[in-house]
Amino acid sequence: MRPGAVSIRSPTSRQVRFVVGFTAGGSQDPLARLMGQWLSERLGQPFIIENRPGASGNIATEAVVRATPDGHTLLLIGTPNVINAILYDKLNFSFIRDIAPIAKIINQPLVMVVNPTIPPKTVPEFIAYAKANPGKIDMASSGSGTSPHLAGEMFKKMADINMVHVPYRGAAPAATDLLGGQVQLIFATAPRNG
């Protein structure tokens, strides 16, 4: 929600747009849909989930920043929003100035997911395999600058291995290609409450 926006605490029949910066089916999408349903039931007004993927969430963030500041447009933010503030030199908004967080919803640790056609079954075995096959492992991410991308880059550096980063427009298409064997690895979010 933008700073100075009207509170949505008093129920009205007007719908609330809940904007998600990634594709339908990605890790943020079901969270937004569950939260939207929960809020709708409690506040008595419709919450419409609007997926605006691209640029690691920047397209959605800009859409919310440009929306009328009346409390009826919300943004599901996550780690990529913080990363983007540093990663991108020229944004049409200032995340810190233009967006005001209103609630923490969930923690999202990352897990390493490997296509089962790859022989290693443990992390040390995977590191040894990657060292023996430099540049032959494709690492998917939900987009450049996202937390799965940066986790993969950190893993590469710490393990001293060479993998090829393959950015996608969201977690759902990246996971689809992981399952189909087009890429071999992804660091995926594993939502948990708390």
Q: What is the CATH number of the domain that holds 140?
A: 3.40.190.10
pLDDT of res. 192: 63
Name residue 186's beta-bridge partners: 113, 140
In contact, 119 and 129? CB cutoff 8 Å: yes
- 104 in a domain, yes or no? no
pLDDT band at 87 (very low <50, low <70, confident <90, very high): confident
Residue range of the domain that includes 82: 16-98
For residue 174, being part of any structural domain is answered with: yes
- Domain presence at residue 121: yes
**pLDDT value at position 143?**
87
User: Model-level pTM?
Assistant: 0.66
Residues ≥6 apart with Cβ < 8 Å to 75: 1, 19, 21, 60, 61, 64, 99
Q: Which of 5-14, 48-57, 109-118, 136-145 has the lowest mean pLDDT?
A: 5-14
Residue 8: inside a domain = no
Residue 92 resides in a domain: yes
Judgement on whether residues 27 and 87 belong to the same structural domain of the protein: yes
Q: Look at the alpha carbons of 42, 48, 49, 52 in this order and tell me if their dihedral is positive or negative.
A: negative
Evaluate whether residue 105 is within a structural domain.
Answer: no
**Domain-terminating residue out of 67, 98, 129:** 98
Judge whether residue 134 has pLDDT over 50. Answer: yes
Measured distance CA(145)–CA(142) in Å, rounded: 9
Q: Are 53 and 63 in contact (CB under 8 A)?
A: no
| pLDDT of 13 higher than 80 | no
**Domain-terminating residue out of 98, 124, 151:** 98
Distances 109 to 137, 174, 193 between C-alpha atoms, Å = 23, 18, 11
In the sheet that 164-167 helps form, which strands lie side by side, from edge to edge? Answer: 110-114, 185-189, 138-141, 164-167
Which among 34, 40, 49, 53 has a CA at the least distance from the CA of 14?
A: 40
Residue 97 reports pLDDT greater than 60: yes
130 and 183 inside one domain: yes
User: pLDDT band at 8, cuts 50/70/90?
Assistant: very low
Let me know whether 20 and 93 are in one domain. yes
Tokens of residue 188, six digits: 């995926």
CA–CA separation, 79 and 11 (whole Å): 30
Domain count across the chain:
2
- 51: which 2 tokens? 């997926």
94 and 127 part of one domain: no
| Contact of 141 with 174, CB cutoff 8 Å | yes
Output the average pLDDT for the chain. Answer: 89
Specify the CATH number for the domain of residue 92. Answer: 3.40.190.150
Strands 110-114 and 185-189: antiparallel
Using the 3D structure, point to which of 53, 70, 98 is the last residue of a domain: 98
| 36, 15 Cβ separation under 8 angstroms | no
* Placement of tokens 């943004």 in the chain: 75
168 assigned to some structural domain: yes
Query: Does 90 share its domain with 131?
Result: no
Residues 20 and 92 in one domain: yes
Same domain? 126 vs 77: no
Q: Does residue 150 fall inside a structural domain? A: yes
Tokens representing 120 are: 């290693």
Please indicate, yes or no, whether residues 28 and 53 belong to a single structural domain of this protein: yes
Residues 153 and 177 in one domain: yes
